[in-house]
Structure 1
Amino acid sequence: MANATGGKHSVQIRGEQVEAAGKMATPEKWLNRFVRVVALIERTGNALGTLAFTWATVILLGGYPTVLDSKKDYRFITVIVFLEATRMFTRDNRLDYQLFFRSRGAFRLLGWNGLLIVIVYFSAMLMLSSKRGDDSFSVPLPVVIVAIVMLVFTFSDELPLSIVYDVSVLLLLSFGNFQIPAATVRVVLALAGILHQKDEPKKEVKPDCEKKDDNDSKNLKASLIIFYGMVLGQGILYIVACLLEVFSFIPRKYLIRHGGLGGQMGVENVNLYYAYAFEKCMEGAVLAPKKISLITFAMDSLNSDSSRKKLYGVQMLHKLLKMEQLRTKTITKLTNDTKTVASLFDMLDWTSDRDSEIRLFAAKVTAELAGSLRVVQIPGTTQLVASLLDTDHQQTTRDHFLFIDSQVGREDSPIQQDGMGQQNSPVLKYLKQMVIYCLIPVDEPSNVDEQNSCMVRCWKQITKCWSVPEEEPSTDQDFLPVQGLIILERLANFDLGNCMEISRTGLISKMIDFTSYRNHMISTNEAHQIMLASLSLRVLRRLASTEGKLGVTLRQQILEHTFILSNLAEIMDDNGNSHELKQLAAEILKNLAMDRNTSADIGHIRVIISSLMRAFLSQDPSSSTNSNHLLWKNAGQALAMLAMESRDNCLVMLMEQGYVFIRQLTTMMQDDRFKCIAASLLWNMCEHAQSELSNSDLKELSYILREVLEGIMDAEGAELEVLIGLSSQICQVIPEDFAREVEHGQIKEKFIKRLVEVLNAHMKPSVHCPRIRRVIVQHAIYLMEFNSRYANDFHKCWMVEALSMVERTPSRAENYRLLSGDTGLMEHNTPLTALVARAKELMGREWVRGISSVT
């Protein structure tokens, strides 16, 4: 019941999250609805116009050409038909149609510049006209300009005329196209035609000879009223659509604020999306569903031939990928569209200065998608990403004197000067400042009452709600090499095929160069240098930790770089470096040390082992932060890897000044977090540096023996393998102490039974503990070699049968110390079958000796 309740609760929470995400997933829905309404009104007007055009040409002009009133109806119909024909024939040309007959853009905002031009021009004309005829009238230009402002805000006889002029010109300049004038003409002509039909007197009864003419004009009045009614409806619908479109700033502002689209860039993006949505709604069938969204707009813009549209498209994609409610949907749509992804990668190679902004945003978007891409499907992508790592700030490397040749230096590109031309002239700026000065007081009055202050606060709150959010400030990540490394890291973490593609393009060498960050760049700031080093180490860590044969190949390619080990040593030895850099370097060293020859090469660089030991032994685990904990853990793992199969490295660790290595390791055995690491190091110290262990070291091993034996009784998996391996080495190094602990502790039978049970339970070796059968057999050999009586104890627990099973089920995995995926590393010198034969031989001797004694 509890599980059911918990399941229901989790489903309910997930449902609420999905519902909430659904509500927030489309911040453009209000704008889409608004556009659909305006487009539907305009398309309804278009349908009425087409019907009226057909009615006029077929019914009226075709059916009643001779009986129409030539002075009014015929002229009205002709004008309307030509007007409608112009609309119908321009709709195939989108630009012409937008210029003449489109509700969107029928009104336009003049802004400060347009408003000032109108006020200045007509007020100045009015002022000059009032002084016309006075030859002595001559004033300086500045005086004409404080006079214009004062004239506008001062009551005088000419003020009404000035206002009429201003309003008229404002109205004319506000028309963005001919839709409103054309719609007005339709309404005026239709109303005039309808009124004309109502005012027309009834015809008198005509003689029979004139009845033929009446038949020709039968239903003419009804046809004219129907026609004028359709035209009137068309004009009204157009005017309504245009007036409604004026309020499009409301859903647009809503989208800007709730869609996270700040700054001038966000405003332009929303305006373009509004135009895009309107075009989509005007296409196809009226009631057909339209796939209109910010995502489709961004993708269509990205695939266009216009650089400007590509810029807006990639900027919009960057915004969408930053929105949690749209991120998953955007990534899914993009990754399923190979054309769009290829276009995105192609922009990474746009190296001209005018394309720097679009290249940066393309890199940001690619970085967001890299965690879901397989670049094998798009050839050449890694080369395009590699171009982001190229920088003019790289320090020139001095060649060896034998390679020096005469080289022509490259001239630096001239610094581009900012254009001196400004969009606004100084006069307009001056006028704008003057008007603002006259309209807005500098300081608020000190005696403002509470009501006014409340109104001011409300007004400020309203303006804040409708203001455009500021653009996101640039960060240190807005640096192309940084974005390139972020892309590489996410590609490498997503797919092994991406790792192989990265290794084929020379990127490993570039990243290793970045790890020597103190000497690599000459003009980038320190923050960029640290980020480049950190990201490079992250990618190298991912490559070096790859499993299987691919991992062996990648590690070999990393090791082919001459300075990889020295760069890692520099990072580990520099106390000024962050724990993150050291932790990454230690993890890379651990992975590289899986190769026996590389482990020996690392051991020759004494500073590496010294730095690892300092990181592993010189910190208090109880007070360490998360970063310190990772550094401590990785340093210990790197030391354990270096100690495997390497007597020289074990001796270097054992002789390192300032540490009592064995004692510190035995102390760490008390901490469950690092028990396996400490046990592995002690195992290798006993196996490879036994002759160098002091008496105090042997006593420390004796002290922890009981803890090791108790751990074997409860541990599983890799920890059990390490503890049995350590126990076997202690048994070989101090056999008397081992026997005394087992005998006096009354755990001999229990311990031997545990070894046999574990041996039977691991007849199929696993990846995380491939040597467990080997260490058990080795432990049995050490016990029986020390005292043959242990053979009888193994006989009682059916050890011979267990060994026979091991002999019948050999595995190649047990010949290696480590398994990386399906690839074995550090092969043992002695095969497991030889150890089984030795154990059975020792048990056989004791069995024969026991039979002989009985006989």
Structure 2
Amino acid sequence: MADGGGGGEHVVQMMAGGSGPGKVAAPEKWLNRFVRAVVLIERVGNALGTLAFTWATVVLLGGYAKDLHSGDDFIFATIIIFLEAARMFSRNNRIDYQVFFNTRGAFRPLGWNGLTLAACFCAVLKIMWEMRLRMIILMIILFGFGRLLSEVSSRGLKLLICNRMRRAASVWSPLVAIVLLALSTDESLFKDYSMMIYPQKKKDYSMIERAMFLVLLVAVLVATISSLHFTRIRKLVDSVLGNKLEFWCQGIISLCMVAALGMLVYMLKDYDRFRMIIIEVCAVAIMSFGNLQIPAAVVRVVLALIGLMPVDDSDPPYDDENLKASLRIFYWMVLGQGILYAVACMLEFFSFIPRRSLVRCGGFGGQRGVESVNMYYAYALEKCMQGGVLAPKKISLSNFATDYVNSDISKNQLHGIRMMHSFLQREPTKAQLLSKLTASTKTVVRIIKMLDWTCPKDAAIRLYAAKVTAELAKNLRVVTIPGTIQLVSALLDSDSTLQRGNPLLDTDDEQEERQELSMNTEDNQEVKHHSMRNAADNQGKRQDRHQDTDNLLETQIRSTQQVGIDEQKSCILRCWQWIQEFRSIPKEQQLTDHDFLPALAMEIIDSLAGSGQDNCVEIRKAADLISKIIGFTSYRRDIMNTEAQQSILLKSSLKVLQRLTSIGGKIGIILRYEISRHPFLLRNLIEILGDNKSSQELRKLVAANLRNLAVDERARQEIGHVQLIITRLVQAFLNTEEITSVNADRFLRKVAGQALAMLTMQSVQNCLVILQEPEFMMELKIMIHDKMYVYVAASLLRNLCMHARSELRESELKELSHTLREVLERILDVDGAELEILIGLSSQICKVIPEDFTRELDAGQIKQRFAKRLVDTLKANMKPSAHCPGIRRVVLEQVIHLMEYNSRYADCFNAFGVTDALSMVEQTPSKAENYRLFLGDEGFMEYSMPLSDLVARAKELMGCD
């Protein structure tokens, strides 16, 4: 694994993401309150224990050591001192404290493994009992061996024994337990011992009792064999139980263990049954203890009660009243400590309620989500135990995720980064986490550094780090995190590309190295996919267990219906459904085809490019990044991704290119130049446009990229030289057969029209190519009446009239005249950039067919309104904006064309004060009006005629000096 991301010296800048954290209650609020309650009880118990330890050492043993009764008080005080000393010293070591005296985990679920071990203990004890060993020795062995196995088996045994041996012990231990229990009931094995000590003891077990053990043995044997990996047996069992094998095997084994323990009690004589019941209860209790906290609490309570209520009258009473008071104070403190510990442990046993509630409310899915919540619970307990009792502690899921991401343990890092990804999917927690990360430089740098963890065992961490980075990139400034773009660029190389070499340039050893690298990468991907499949299988098995419980519920309901107790049935059903709903775990969100590194890298780059031009500068500096992105704009056979993943990469790469080509300012010019100069870009875009299998969205993205590239004159001319591009754009723009009511289809048509409009600006050749399409002008006439396409069609018509006026046929001029009424009516109603486009079209129509234009003005009786609209537009736009920089220019062109055709229009314009408006335009020139459009602060498509020349021409036609 890569080194931890220090990087604390950097300053990470993140833009504000939204309005900040709202007042929505945190999902972990109830669990935090529960943790604080448990910790408060435990810490009060610790305080009483420390005080009792001090009291015993200083007051009792220090002041009254000679006066204490050696048989009880002195021994009790000594035991308490050693017990408390062990607790206090183990507190300095977190692992030791968890093993021996931690409240968390004082109880643990018994499970079928615990029942099996308890049965083994009882069987061994019964055999030793028959051999008449001392009961005290048996109990010591039982408790000591049980405590050893309960801890070592869960911690050290896994390190000492291989996986196969652990699985063998787990599979065959139930069978061993049944055999031992059966042997312990066979009196013939212990006949000599029994008759030697108890000659009168004799009991012959019936065949029914022996048959019961035989039935249990057969049931456990069947369950054990069916859990083995034998193909024929698995198929046979699966045909009966389906995918519910694990559930039924565990259920059968647990029932057999309980039945065997019951049989052991039943087959004893009356005076031995009570002892065996106590022993079995003790064995089960031992297996339920997670550490020594509960036994130690019981010892404290028992010793304190004995000290407060003496039953031994052999020792004389104390004469010193101070000594009596000191002992009472000491025992009350010990009693309080033991009771508080017991209460804390019992309360902690019910921690599954707030933990399961957090799993459901926090959106944590699957067994990994449950494990993450359990880790947060342990984290919260440990944090609360640190520092002062009343000191405020900032405990939250965000802090937990941040601390675990910064951890040096791989498991903690995985849970931390997964939890961050989960938070970023929901708005309340997303705002909180972004606020936290804004102030946590170390965490952001660590997440970025995780993108470079290429070790196979860190594949999951790297994947989720990429998913988190994709969310953070929307508000992230990478200029102060050196190497971020390079790390993201490296993610694009994780598609296992096998580049073909050139036989004239590459040697054989280089080709072998490439093939070996590809094979290794493929193996790593197979390992990763295999682990994902195993995780999915485990998830399915857990879900099957829940379904099995539901089947048991159905069986209970049917039996209840047979009895005929409808009211009880409905009550049981409601309770059981509530329990099942509470116990159910939300499904874990499965990885999709979008969740692989190259696609996530595309998403990160897209988000970074949209977060500011500083990020775009860094993107441009990254070596070969743009070439890598363009490389994904075609289907490739030399990569290991699936067809679905290749489609996602194709779409993602087109989106990123669209983002980069739409950037304004000087960096936008550089990016468009870097993209347009790629030798394979236009070929790939042509292939997508011409592929009938390409979706409407892909073709729309291609058209959008061509539109953005056409802003620059060099790229516009280069695209125009590839006539096939314009032809396919025209087909996408006019192909009405595929146009449906779906928005994606209509958007494709609009974007294709925008691309054609950009390509025809200041390009006679491109206009001539478009005019070769039959019925093109008629389609534009139709689109003028459609609100969605009116401005695209108007811009295209303007360009065609401006640059290909001499090539327009009579029929096309007739179609052009039919658009006049719609254009003139819209000019009277719209403003801004839309008004600029429409006036620009009307001025060109007026220049091409002035007779039809003036006839339409007179026929519609809108000449006065139209003239007033033009003059008012001049007066209202004395400060041109980047949104519509040429609006005064097109108005002047319209005025000039009308007056050039008929001088009487000068009087009409003069009536509305056009002379004053022209003077104001002359006095307020702007450099922005020399450009057709703006991207950022950069203007494009500069006009050849200055605005001042148009003003002079208009004044000349008006007859002004």
Task: Please report the TM-score for the alignment, with normalisation by the length of structure 2.
Answer: 0.77
Q: Is the 8 A contact 1:335 1:372 kept in 2?
A: no
Among 835, 839, 844, the alignment partner of 2:954 is 839
1:699 corresponds in structure 2 to 814
Closer/same/farther in 2, CA of residues 756 and 440 from structure 1, 3 Å limit: closer
Structure 2 equivalent of residue 425 of structure 1: none
Q: How many residues align?
A: 796
- Cα offsets for 1:354-391 (capped at 9, x unmatched): 11111122222222222222222322112222222223
Distance in 2 (alpha carbons) for counterparts of 1:649 and 1:80 = 97
* Aligned pairs for 1:235-254 within 5 A: 235-254=338-357
Counterpart CA distance in 2 for 1:224 and 1:621 is 95
2:897 aligned residue: 782
- 1:265 and 2:368 equivalent? yes
Q: Which moved more, 1:168-177 or 1:784-793?
A: 784-793
How far apart in 2 are the matches of 1:722 and 1:543?
26
Distance in 2 (CA, whole Å) between partners of 1:835 and 1:589 is 33
Structure 2 counterpart SS, 1:677:
helix
Query: Do structure 1's residue 385 and structure 2's residue 385 form an aligned pair?
Result: no
Aligned to 2:322: 219
How many angstroms does 1:702 deviate by?
2.1
Structure 1 residue 512 corresponds to structure 2 residue 630:
yes
* Greater Cα offset, 521-530 or 296-305: 521-530
Structure 2: distance between partners of 1:709 and 1:464: 66
Q: Equivalents in 1 of 2:554, 2:577: separation in Å?
A: 16
- Equivalent position of 1:586 in the other structure: 703
1:717 to 829, 832, 841: 832
CA gap 1:306/1:735 in 2 versus in 1, 3 angstroms: same
- Describe the shift of the 1:131–1:671 C-alpha distance in structure 2 as closer, same or farther (beyond 3 A): closer
Matching of residue 156 in structure 1 with residue 270 in structure 2: no
Q: Is the CA contact 1:621–1:629 (under 8 Å) kept in the aligned structure 2?
A: no
- In the TM superposition, what is the alpha-carbon distance from 1:792 to its structure 2 partner? 4.4
Deviates more, 1:615-624 or 1:735-744: 615-624
Which residue number in structure 2 is paired with residue 8 of structure 1? none
> 1:80-100 CA deviation, whole Å, 9 max, x = no partner?
222222222222222222222
| Partner residue in 1 for 2:16 | none
2:667 alignment partner in structure 1: 550
Superposed displacement of residue 806, structure 1: 2.0
**What one-letter code is carried by the residue in structure 2 that aligns with 1:30?**
W
2-side partners of 1:363 and 1:504: how far apart?
21
Q: CA RMSD in A?
A: 3.3
Q: Which residue of 2 aligns with 1:31?
A: 31
Aligned equivalent of 1:426: none
Q: Does 1:146 align with 2:218?
A: yes
The runs of 5 or more residues in structure 2 that have no matched partner are: 1-18, 124-178, 193-209, 221-255, 535-544
| Structure 1 residues 496 and 661, CA gap change in structure 2 (3 angstroms) | same
Offset, 1:751: 3.2
The residue number in structure 2 matching 1:739 is 854
2:470 corresponds to:
367
Equivalent residue number for residue 492 of structure 1: 609
Question: Which residue does the alignment assign to 1:297?
Answer: 400
Distance of 1:297 and 1:84 partners within structure 2: 31
Q: CA deviation at 1:754?
A: 3.0
Q: How does 1:274-673 map to 2 (within 5 A)?
A: 274-399=377-502, 402-406=504-508, 407-410=510-513, 411=516, 412-413=519-520, 448-451=562-565, 454=570, 455=572, 458-459=575-576, 461-505=578-622, 506-516=624-634, 518-519=635-636, 522-619=639-736, 623-656=740-773, 659-673=774-788
Q: Is residue 230 from structure 1 mapped to residue 333 from structure 2 by the alignment?
A: yes
Q: Which secondary structure state, in structure 1, belongs to the residue aligned with residue 363 of structure 2?
A: coil
SS in structure 2 of the partner of residue 477 of structure 1: coil
Q: Does 1:67 align with 2:184?
A: no
Q: Describe the shift of the 1:197–1:167 C-alpha distance in structure 2 as closer, same or farther (beyond 3 A).
A: closer
Who is 1:193 aligned against? 307
SS at match of 2:610: helix
Distance in 2 (alpha carbons) for counterparts of 1:126 and 1:790: 116
Which amino acid is 1:51 matched to?
A: L
Q: Distance in 1 between matches of 2:787 and 2:367?
A: 57
Show the counterpart of 1:6: none
Query: What's the secondary structure of 1:819's corresponding residue?
Result: strand
Q: Note closer, same or farther for the CA distance 1:748–1:28 as it changes in structure 2 (3 Å cut).
A: closer
Q: Residue 661 of structure 1 aligns to which amino acid in structure 2?
A: F
CA distance in 2, matches of 1:114, 1:563: 66
1:254/1:144 CA distance change after superposition, 3 Å: closer
**TM-score, reference length from structure 1:** 0.86
Is the CA contact (8 Å cut-off) linking 1:395 and 1:520 kept in structure 2? no
* TM-superposition CA deviations, 1:746-793 (whole Å, max 9, x none): 544443343223222222212122112212222233233333444444
Q: Distance in 2 between matches of 1:787 and 1:525?
A: 68
Q: Structure 1 residues 532 and 172 mapped into 2: Cα distance closer, same or farther (>3 Å)?
A: same
User: What's the CA shift string for 1:9-36, capped at 9, x where partnerless?
Assistant: xxxxxxxxx9x9856x422222222221
Match of 1:802 in 2: 917
- After alignment, is 316-325 or 543-552 more displaced? 316-325
Residue 70 of structure 1 aligns to a residue whose secondary structure is coil
In the alignment, what sits opposite 2:186?
131
8 Å Cα contact 1:302-1:309 kept in structure 2: yes
Q: CA deviation at 1:143?
A: 8.8
Q: Greater shift after overlay, 789-798 or 572-581?
A: 789-798
Name the stretch that deviates more: 780-789 or 366-375: 780-789
Question: Which letter does structure 2 place at the counterpart of 1:582?
Answer: R
Deviation at 1:331, TM superposition (A): 2.3
Is residue 113 of structure 1 aligned with residue 113 of structure 2? Answer: yes
Is the contact between residue 682 and residue 726 of structure 1 (CA under 8 Å) also seen in structure 2?
Answer: yes
Structure 1 pair 127–556 and aligned structure 2 pair: CA distance change class (3 A)? same
- 1:756 lines up with 2:871 in the alignment: yes
Contact 2:934 2:940 in 1 (8 A): yes
2:5 alignment partner in structure 1 = none
Q: Counterpart of 1:492 in structure 2: which amino acid?
A: A
Name structure 1 gaps, 5 residues minimum. 1-17, 205-213, 423-432, 849-855
Distance 2:506 2:821 in 1: 67
Q: Greater CA deviation, 741-750 or 800-809?
A: 741-750
Partner SS state of residue 345, structure 1: helix
Match of 1:209 in 2: none
Q: Secondary structure at the match of 2:451?
A: helix
Distance (whole Å) between structure 1 residues aligned to residue 301 and residue 706 of structure 2: 83
Offset, 1:404? 3.9
Distance in 1, matches of 2:102 and 2:404, equals 22
Please state whether the residue corresponding to 2:408 is helix, strand or coil: coil
The amino acid of 2:718's aligned partner reads: D
Give the 3 Å change call, closer, same or farther, for CA 325–773 of structure 1 in structure 2.
closer
Displacement after TM superposition at 1:605 (Å): 1.8
Whole-angstrom distance in 2 between the partners of 1:797 and 1:35: 80
Question: Do the aligned partners of 1:573 and 1:608 also contact (CA within 8 Å) in 2?
Answer: no
1:831 partner letter: P
2:280 matched to which residue of 1? 166
**Deviation at residue 737 of structure 1 after TM alignment:** 2.5
Partner Cα separation in structure 2 for residue 381 and residue 758 of structure 1: 49
Distance in 2 of aligned mates of 1:571 and 1:203: 102
Shift of the 145–801 alpha-carbon distance from structure 1 to 2, 3 Å rule, reads same
CA–CA distance in structure 1, aligned partners of residues 332 and 855 of structure 2: 114
2:939 counterpart SS class: strand
Q: Cα 1:142–1:812, aligned 2, differ >3 Å: closer, same or farther?
A: farther
Tell me, yes or no, if the aligned pair for 2:402 and 2:416 is still in contact at 8 Å.
yes
1:78 and 1:693, CA in 2 relative to 1: closer, same or farther beyond 3 A?
same
Question: 2:481 is matched by which residue type in structure 1?
Answer: I
